[in-house]
Amino acid sequence: MTESMTYSVPGMSCDHCKHAVSSELGAVAGVVGVEVDLDTKLVTVTGEGLDDQTLRAAIEEAGYEAA
C-alpha cells in the first residue's frame, strides 16, 4: 500500500536545494516519489513502508532540517 508523508523544510530556497533533498530522499528504501514545492517549502514523499526517522535523517543529510 502506497503512503505519503509531508515535511516542512523552511531552509529550501532554490533548485539546488530541491535537487539535494530529492536526491537524498529518493535513495531511501521504499521511496517511489518525491515532490518538492519551493513556494510552500513542503516536501511530499510517497512510497511503501516509509519510516519518519529515516526520511528526516535523509533531509538532514542533504543539509536541511524538517520542521
User: For residue 67, is it within any domain?
Assistant: no
Q: Which domain holds residue 47?
A: 3-61
User: For residue 32, is it within any domain?
Assistant: yes
pLDDT at position 64 is: 97
Using a cut of 0.85, tell me whether the model's pTM lies above it. yes
Task: State how many domains the chain has.
Answer: 1
User: For residue 66, is it within any domain?
Assistant: no
Other CB atoms within a 10 A radius of the CB of residue 43 amount to: 25
In which residue ranges of the chain is pLDDT below 70? none
pLDDT at position 27 is: 98
Q: What is the DSSP string of 41-62?
A: TEEEEEESS--HHHHHHHHHHT
